[in-house]
Amino acid sequence: MLALLGTVVFVIIPSQMELATSFSFSDNWLEYPDHVGNPEYGCNCSSILQGDLRSLEQAQLLAITKDVRKKVLRSDDYYINATQNCRTFQSSRKYLMFSPSQEEEDFPLAYSIVVHHKIENFERLLRAIYAPQNIYCVSVDRKSATSFLEAVMSIASCFPNVFMVSRTVDVVYAAWPRVQADLNCMADLYNASTTWRYFLNLCGQDFPLKTNLEMVRSLKTLKGANTMETEQMVEGKRWRVRSAHHIVNGEIQATGKIKQPPPFNLPILAGNAYIVVSRGYVHSILYDEDVQRLAAWAQDTYSPDEFFWATVQRMPNVPGSSPPDAKYDLTDVNALARMVKWVWHEGTLYPPCHGHHVRAICVYGLGDLQWLLGRHHFFANKFDLDSDPFALHCLEWYLRRKTLADMHSAF
């Protein structure tokens, strides 16, 4: 059953839906409701995920009505108030406060989540990936609104395995602080628990495409290897690591100076900000002297998150790494970490975006879900409740039903 997910989508998704709805759940209170009175009522996720165009069109029209948007979108104050009673919050928001399987219990994961706005995007992401055996570090950009910070802290306080990072940073787009935010969470996670097996880093507009069980089973097959984009850097991007940059008034700017070559003639590889790596890789990031030299050298480069992790992945002696030879290059399409639709690849590598674009990245709409659920990636970026609340709702609906179905099939 699990091995079939990721083949032909229009065949598999209906069968998964039939499986998920065939059980008479004794714990149906954990399902996400689709009945009258629920804000998402009228959005037929089952039909949409089977490719029914009429249901898709009806949901798209419903999503833009003021009444639905008012009911669906929750504010910072909502979460600050709702978390005054944590047990009620966990129950009303339908968090899974138990491990669905022993297999998952025995294979805990560690997450870094870097956020700066859109509180409900964050909370629904946390709910989708939450499991009591995992551990979660949350880093809020120092520039964020006070109410947003308070809301995130309130949510985190309701879970013993969710905590705020010990050192916050002022995140700057395309600059070193974006890497530093994850590094700080890495250090906190590494010191907080000795049991987790893999580290995954997220931002607030990510969302999973797989259940926790599916991710665990995929990670087991890696046998300690890491998975991320890491390939030869094209000449048109080499200015990023050849020219020195600094931060001025919250923005990264070129200094006009040429940088020294990287330490010990290290080949710099291209990648992206999102990774899935073993505990051993994280140990190297934090304590390996050669990695520390690379980090020091990279701090005045442009967009270091798009080469730092990828370069470390090709360094000798890093656990789970691969050699720097081009034969070991891995693209973002083939890595497990993240599915991102870039506008210039639409129509060739993947179908057109059904939402809209921000910085050439597709912000997914409902029409993207059927295709997305056929990918092998763990997560997709970007989702935005403000632009399409039903895209997240149907993805949540599908994953929760699949989690419960898999849980019951184990008995």
Does one domain contain both 269 and 351? Answer: no
**Entry pTM:** 0.91
Give pLDDT, residue 70: 72
Q: Tell me, yes or no, whether 285 and 363 share the same domain.
A: no
Give the separation between CA 193 and CA 187, rounded to whole angstroms: 10
Q: Which of 310, 328, 346 is the last residue of a domain?
A: 328
How far is residue 167's CA from residue 28's CA, in Å, rounded to a whole number?
Answer: 40
72-103, pLDDT tens digit by residue? 789 999 999 999 999 999 999 999 999 999 99
Q: Give whole-number Cα distances, 293 to 22, 258, 286, 348, in Å.
A: 56, 18, 11, 39
Same domain, 324 and 350: no
Residue 189 in domain: no
* 306 a catalytic residue: yes
State yes or no: pLDDT of 233 exceeds 70. Answer: yes
Residues 344 and 384 in one domain: yes
Nearest CA-CA partner of 181 in 256, 115, 272, 249: 115
DSSP state of 364: -
Do residues 320 and 353 share a domain?
no
- Please give the structure tokens belonging to residue 78: 């909502």
Are residues 289 and 371 both part of a single domain? no
* 153 in any annotated domain: no
Task: Quickly tell me which residue has 């946390």 as its tokens.
Answer: 126
pLDDT value of residue 407 = 87
Ranges of H-type helices in 243-324:
279-287, 289-298, 308-312
Peptide bond into 382 cis (omega under 30): yes
Tokens 């709409």 -> residue: 365
Q: How many domains does the chain have?
A: 2
What is the pLDDT, as a whole number, of residue 27? Answer: 53
* Nearest partner of 133 among 206, 39, 198, judged by Cα: 198
Q: Is 102 left (phi over 0), alpha (psi -120 to 50) or beta?
A: alpha
In a domain, 269, yes or no: yes
Is 25 found in the same domain as 55? yes
Quote the pLDDT of residue 34.
Answer: 57
| pLDDT tens-digit readout, 120-156 | 999 999 999 999 999 999 999 999 999 999 999 999 9
In whole angstroms, give the CA distance from residue 100 to residue 103.
Answer: 9
Are residues 303 and 342 located together in one domain of the fold?
no
Q: Based on the number of CB atoms within 10 Å of its own CB, is 380 exposed (0-12), middle (13-18) or buried (19 or more)? A: buried
Distances in Å between the Cα of 348 and the Cα atoms of 19, 198, 342, 372, 409 are 33, 32, 11, 15, 38
Query: Which positions ≥6 away from 160 have C-beta within 8 Å?
Result: none
For residues 383 and 81, give the distance between their C-alpha atoms in angstroms, rounded to a whole number. Answer: 25
Predicted pLDDT of residue 8: 33
Place of tokens 């000798």: 316
In a domain, 215, yes or no: no
**Cα-based angle 155, 338, 161 (whole degrees, multiple of 5):** 25
Interatomic CA distance for residues 379 and 335, integer angstroms: 11
Give the active site residue among 31, 306, 346, 396: 306
Q: Is pLDDT of 23 > 50?
A: no
Confidence of residue 409 (pLDDT cuts 50, 70, 90): confident
Q: Tell me if 207 is assigned to some domain.
A: no
Q: Which of 328, 363, 395 is where one domain is finished?
A: 328
Identify whether residues 277 and 366 lie together within a single domain.
Answer: no
Instruction: Tell me if 13 is assigned to some domain.
Output: yes
Is 50 exceeded by the pLDDT of residue 221? yes
| Residue 254 domain boundaries | 230-328
**Same domain, yes or no: 305 and 366:** no
Whether residue 145 is contained in a domain is answered as no
Cα separation of 177 and 277, whole Å? 20
Q: Are residues 274 and 323 in the same domain?
A: yes
Whether 34 and 55 share a structural domain: yes
Pick from 294, 328, 362: which residue ends a domain? 328
- The answer to the question of residue 343 being in a domain is yes
